Amino acid sequence: MRHRASRMLAATLVLVGAASCGSGGSSTNERPAVRERGRNTTTVPNAIGIVKDALSASRAADTANFVGSFFFDATALGTEDPAAGRVSLGAKSAEYTVDMQGEQIGLVPPSTPLEEIRMRVREADGALYLRFPAAFESAGVGDRWVRIDTDAAPTGAALPKGFEDVSLRTFLAARLLRPEMCFRVISDAATARLVGPETVRGAPTTRYAVEWAPRKWAEDAGLFFFFGPDRSEARLAALDAAFARATTADVWIDDVGRVRRVVGYVDLTLVAPHFDPPGDPDTWRELRTKCEFFDYGTEVPAIDVPSDVAVPATGG
C-alpha cells in the first residue's frame, strides 16, 4: 500500500509541475550559478541588505507585468507549461493565466478544446480565486470562480469539499505561481553573495546568490504531504537541514533597486530520500521556480474580488 501511495504522490507532483510554468522569456533553463555555497560569488558588504531592500523598492514601484514558471525534472515524467499576468506588488494582488494544455489527461474531460485548458487565477483581498470551467465541470461550478486560501495547511494541500473529482494539481498550480511566493524566497533569505552584472529583458541588473529556507515555502504551496504526517521538532529539523544542503536561489536587481528576476533551485536527489515513503534519487532530480517582473509602473486595472464566486470559503 505504501508503494502504491508513493507512486500516486509522484504522479501528482509530476502533473503539478506541468501546471505551473513560465512564458515570454521566463523559461527556467538558466540554473542558478551557485550550486555549491560560495562558488563563483564574491562577498560584499551588506549584500543581504541590498537584496532585502529590493523588496521594498519593488513594492513601492507597485505595478508590473509578470511571468512565472515551475520546472520539475523527474526523468521522463517532468514537464513545463507557461503562465503570465500582471501584479500590484504594493497591494499584494495579482491576476495571471496558467496554460495547462500539456497536462490535459486527467485534468479535463476528453476532447476539451485546447483553448479551454487555461486556468485564470486572481489574488485579491488575501485569497486566491480560480476560474477553470473545463476542469471544474465535475463540481458543477461552470464559469464561476472558486475561492481558496493563499497558503495551504502545513501538512499539505487538500481538495475543497465538493471537488473530490477535480485534480489536486489545479489548486497547487494556483499557489505555486503566486508572485508573492517568489518574493518569499527573498524575504526568507539568510545570506547573500554577489555573482555579477547581467541583463534581464534588456535591462542591466546585478545578480546575487542567496541562501533561503524553503521548507515553509513548500508548506505554503501545499507540497508538504510528500514528507508524511510527522511534524515533530526532530523531523522538521532534519528536513530543514536537508533543504539547506539542497537549495539555493538567485535574485536579479536592476539599477534602481527593484527585483527583476528570482530563480530558486532544489536538488531533489538530496531531498527525495526524506519523502515518506522515501523517493528514488535516480527519478527525483531537480525543481526550479522562476519569476520575472518587467514594465514596472505599467497601468494595471484594479484587481478585485470576483463577484460570482461559487464557493465563498474553502481551504483547498
Contacts of residue 195, Cβ cutoff 8 Å, sequence gap at least 6: 33, 34, 40, 41, 42, 206, 207, 208, 209, 250
Q: Please answer whether residues 72 and 102 qualify as being in contact, where contact means their C-beta atoms are separated by less than 8 angstroms.
A: no
Predicted pLDDT of residue 21: 37
pLDDT at 106 over 50: yes
What's the rounded Cα separation, in Å, for the pair 60 and 58? 5
For the stretch 164-181, pLDDT in tens is 889 888 898 899 889 999
Q: Please answer whether residues 138 and 208 qualify as being in contact, where contact means their C-beta atoms are separated by less than 8 angstroms.
A: no
pLDDT at 3 over 50: no
pTM greater than the 0.75 cutoff: yes
Q: Please answer whether residues 67 and 261 qualify as being in contact, where contact means their C-beta atoms are separated by less than 8 angstroms.
A: no
> Can you list the positions of beta strands (E) in the chain?
63-73, 83-88, 93-99, 118-124, 127-131, 145-149, 191-200, 203-211, 247-254, 259-267, 286-294, 309-311
Predicted pLDDT of residue 313: 53
What's the rounded Cα separation, in Å, for the pair 221 and 232? 20
Dihedral pair phi/psi, residue 185, rounded to 5°? -55, -40
Name the band, by pLDDT with cuts 50, 70 and 90, for residue 315.
low
What's the rounded Cα separation, in Å, for the pair 191 and 141? 45
Q: Please answer whether residues 68 and 83 qualify as being in contact, where contact means their C-beta atoms are separated by less than 8 angstroms.
A: yes
Predicted pLDDT of residue 22: 35
> Which has the closest alpha carbon to 224: 239, 238, 210, 237?
239
> Can you list the positions of beta strands (E) in 176-225?
191-200, 203-211
> If you count them, how many residues does the chain have?
316
For the stretch 245-263, pLDDT in tens is 999 899 999 999 999 999 9
What's the rounded Cα separation, in Å, for the pair 162 and 223? 21
- Walk me through the domains of the chain, giving residue ranges and CATH numbers: 2-311 (2.50.20.20)
SS3 at position 105: coil
What's the rounded Cα separation, in Å, for the pair 260 and 207? 10
